[in-house]
Amino acid sequence: MASPVATYLGYVAVATLVWVVADWIICLAASQCSRTFVKRASRTIRERGRWRSRLVSTAHAIYGSCAAAYVILFRPWTPDESLFSTEPLKMMLLAGSVGYFVFDTYVMLVYQEKEVAYYLHHAVVGGGMLIAMLSEFCAFAFVAMTINEFTTPMLNMAWIMNRMRLNHSTLFKVNGVVIAVGFFCARICFNLFIAYHYLSPDTLAHFPAPIGNTPTTLGVSAIAIFFFPLYFLYLGTNFFWFAKLVKEVRSFVRGEASAALDDESDGELHLMGGDTDVEEEEEEADDIVKPRRSARLRRSTAEAR
């Protein structure tokens, strides 16, 4: 009989392959339905990777939100369920997110993404989920926290609208307000509720020793000790980004700034100014295209002679 670790790693491997197939289908459908996608996504290597990441992250956000809704609404919030549940379906849902992080990291490496924050975020969140699976500790919390992905489709929509130079439109401003409200509900209120649940006396009593009274292995005890510091660090970053988000949205609504909401990666929100990023990508594309045009012109001139 296979060990639980081998089984969970098998889940992750299958999930990664599923995301590879999903990426191919999504990009093929987008290229058939949108000329803008073909034009924008083919300008530079890095731009192709970013478009692919946004499209697949939207699919993962829908998957993650549905998985979180299942856990939140249909599973009991008992201490044993919250801390030590090894339900196969729950582990497979968690493996789906880990597989996404593995795939997206591969895409970023292939397409030469230079933002270190993206790699750090994927390593921390994806690594935390993988540890929760392999140790069979707090898998419930990690699946429930994927409700944070609720705002990702809207943030990706803002990123696409910025690329299409629609960041001064009314729709962009309305989308920004919806992002702020959704971010507050999903990442602030719900994460505070998660903290309240795990800090309740009944749940703390069931924590592994030395925090609680449940005897377990040394590895799980070490993970339990670092659970709260890391969680509150994550919660603090959400408060920081929410403050920046509110400031940006107020500027959009008042028409005082043209900054654009750029990106959220399963836990990180980045605000980037105006069309600067778009202009940099276009300049990079021009640097690639112009030499090619000059070479073709020289060949045509030589043939004419």
297 vs 285, higher pLDDT: 297
Confidence of residue 47 (pLDDT cuts 50, 70, 90): confident
Q: Which amino acid is at 224?
A: A
The 10s digit of each residue's pLDDT in 137-153 is 888 888 888 888 888 89
287 vs 224, higher pLDDT: 224
The 10s digit of each residue's pLDDT in 78-94 is 888 888 878 888 888 89
- The predicted model gives 124-140 an average pLDDT of 85
**Over the chain, what is the mean pLDDT?**
77
Q: Is 292 exposed, middle or buried (0-12, 13-18, 19+ CB in 10 A)?
A: exposed
- Residue 12's pLDDT is 92
Q: Is the Cβ–Cβ distance between 137 and 208 less than 8 Å?
A: yes
Residue 103 has pLDDT above 90, yes or no: yes
The number of beta carbons lying within 10 Å of the beta carbon of residue 20 is 16
- Residue 253's pLDDT is 64
- Residue 18's pLDDT is 94
Query: What's the token pair of residue 179?
Result: 């992002």
Which range among 30-34, 64-68, 253-257 has the greatest average pLDDT? 64-68
**Would you list the domain boundaries of the chain?**
4-274
- The predicted model gives 171-182 an average pLDDT of 87
- Residue 261's pLDDT is 43
SS3 73: helix
- Residue 269's pLDDT is 38
Looking at the chain, how many residues does it have?
305
Residue 241 has pLDDT above 70, yes or no: yes
pTM: 0.77
96 vs 214, higher pLDDT: 96
Residue 26 has pLDDT above 90, yes or no: no
Residue 98 has pLDDT above 90, yes or no: yes
Residue ranges of the alpha helices (H) in the chain?
A: 4-33, 35-41, 45-74, 79-84, 88-110, 116-135, 139-145, 152-163, 170-183, 190-199, 201-205, 218-254, 276-304
- The predicted model gives 266-284 an average pLDDT of 44
Measured CA angle at 232 (ends 5, 154), to 5 deg: 85
Confidence of residue 237 (pLDDT cuts 50, 70, 90): confident
Q: How far apart are CA 92 and CA 11, in angstroms?
A: 6
Residue 49 has pLDDT above 70, yes or no: yes
Q: Is the Cβ–Cβ distance between 4 and 88 less than 8 Å?
A: no
Residue 25 has pLDDT above 60, yes or no: yes
Residue 264 has pLDDT above 60, yes or no: no
> Which helix (H) or strand (E) segment is 263 a member of?
strand 260-264
Confidence of residue 258 (pLDDT cuts 50, 70, 90): very low
Residue 51 has pLDDT above 90, yes or no: no
Q: How far apart are CA 41 and CA 52, in angstroms?
A: 8
Residue 302 has pLDDT above 70, yes or no: no
- Residue 33's pLDDT is 73
Q: Running DSSP on this structure, what letter comes out for residue 214?
A: B
